[in-house]
Amino acid sequence: MTSPHVIELTDQNFEEEIVTAKGVAMVDFWAEWCMPCKMLAPTIEDLAKEYAGRVKVGKLDTDAARDTAMKFGISAIPTVFLFKDGKVVKKLIGLQTKKVFTEAIDELLAG
């Protein structure tokens, strides 16, 4: 996963990058072995490009960052959380369409 628009999140940087950050953030909880996660990856990348400068987008590998995944109760992947000012405001579980994400993000940015 190398992208200038998507932050690689870990147990070490999650707090700083997401929890204490101001504004809207989207976190994709995923794993390398998860086929639906791989199918969702291009959508996450597209959203990161489209909302660059307005929404912080990160991906957290649940195998590599188990503590954070457990803290947020991740039991199925892919799971995408939307945060506003460090607080979880929306959870989207499973493979979703881009439209579902854009509607949720636009609603947060407007509110």
Quick one: which H or E segment has residue 44? helix 35-50
Q: Is pLDDT of 42 > 60?
A: yes
- Residue 98's pLDDT is 97
Helix 35-50 with 98-110: angle, nearest 10 deg? 40
34 is catalytic: yes
- Residue 45's pLDDT is 96
Q: Is pLDDT of 27 > 60?
A: yes
Instruction: Give CA separation, 52 vs 4, 56, 73, in Å.
Output: 10, 7, 28
Task: Name the catalytic one among 25, 27, 37, 80.
Answer: 37
Chain-centroid distance of CA 100 in Å reads 14
Instruction: Kindly indicate the confidence band of residue 2, based on its pLDDT and cuts at 50, 70 and 90.
Output: low
In tens, the pLDDT along 55-96 reads 999 999 999 999 999 999 999 999 999 999 999 999 999 999
Residue ranges and CATH numbers for the domains of the chain are 6-110 (3.40.30.10)
Token representation of residue 27: 């976190």
61 is catalytic: no
Task: Name the catalytic one among 34, 41, 89, 93.
Answer: 34
Tokens 């489209």 belong to which residue? 50
Nearest partner of 74 among 59, 62, 58, judged by Cα: 62
